[in-house]
Amino acid sequence: MLMKVGSMVKKIDFIVDDIMNKITQKKYTPGEKILTERELAEKYSVSRHTVREALKKLESIGYIYKIQGSGIFISDSIHYNALIYNSLTQKKFSDINSKVLYFKETIADHELAEMFNIEYMSKLWGFKRIRIADSQKVQIETSLMPKELFPKLTAKTVEKSIHDYVQSCNYKISHFITEYRSINISKEDAELLDCKKGTAVTKIKNRGYLKNGIVFEITESLNLDYSCCYINDYNSDMHKYRQFDKYK
């Protein structure tokens, strides 16, 4: 079965995530000039419009800046948020259970192959589970993981902590790139979470990276009553950047 990426990860988001990951892995350094729009379009096999939208997003959050006539550069005032906890991580694993809705082998289309940096039609594990905390259904989670990295993964394994399992395979988890968005839940998903159709939920797209830069997990989840807490250092450079009016 060929699993299409669909709305799970858009091409624009992939480009944004990939550049952010290269910065995190220090493959791009502050002040470094990166490829032009045309070169990036060729690299990612997309239109220049798609690249432009991705760069616009990176610029809006302060990861890059442009100098007219000179090029695109990595910002020297990049700031990372440190997550203290969210609705699930503040609970002990013993308080969280997972009900696996499906666990199956699938294959990577061209987009997924690029995202995981694997060969087209390579095997992936695909699974969907409901997370239950304090006897309440709080999350629907759909995930993809490369079978080559985790050949012994089973449905029984994904009932528990995936990240514990990853580390038990002697992999070192580096970081995650995460996107949050509020949506109204569909009828089908509402039935799974025992809530009303149209209830506001938090949709979270998550991409997990190992220390060597390999993507080990792509996950999309729908979360009821979601909350999270971050600790943020005050970034005066970012504050000045947000005050800057390029039209003045």
What's the token pair of residue 9?
């990860």
Residues 99, 217, single domain; the answer is yes
Mean pLDDT of 8-34: 86
Q: What is the CATH number of the domain that holds 74?
A: 1.10.10.10
Residues 190, 93, single domain; the answer is yes
Residues 72, 126, single domain; the answer is no
Domain range for 46 is 8-78
Residues 150, 225, single domain; the answer is yes
What's the token pair of residue 43?
């690299």
Give per-residue pLDDT as tens, 84-134. 667 777 677 777 889 999 999 999 999 999 999 999 999 999 999 999 988
Residues 207, 89, single domain; the answer is yes
Residues 87, 175, single domain; the answer is yes
Give per-residue pLDDT as tens, 7-19. 345 889 889 889 9
Asked whether residue 141 is assigned to any structural domain, the reply reads: yes
3-state secondary structure the chain: CEECCCCCCCHHHHHHHHHHHHHHCCCCCCCCECCCHHHHHHHHCCCHHHHHHHHHHHHHCCCEEEECCCEEEECCCCCCCEEEEECCCCCCHHHEEEEEEEEEEEEECHHHHHHHCCCCCCEEEEEEEEEEECCEEEEEEEEEEECCCCCCCCCCHHHCCHHHHHHHCCCCEEEEEEEEEEEECCHHHHHHHCCCCCCEEEEEEEEEEECCCCEEEEEEEEECCCCEEEECCCCHHHHHHHHCCCCC
Domain count, the chain: 2
pLDDT band at 234 (very low <50, low <70, confident <90, very high): confident
Q: What is the CATH number of the domain that holds 143?
A: 3.40.1410.10
Phi, psi of 240 (to 5 degrees): -65, -40
Residues 168, 194, single domain; the answer is yes
Inter-residue contact 19 to 177 (CB < 8 Å)? no
Residues 106, 221, single domain; the answer is yes
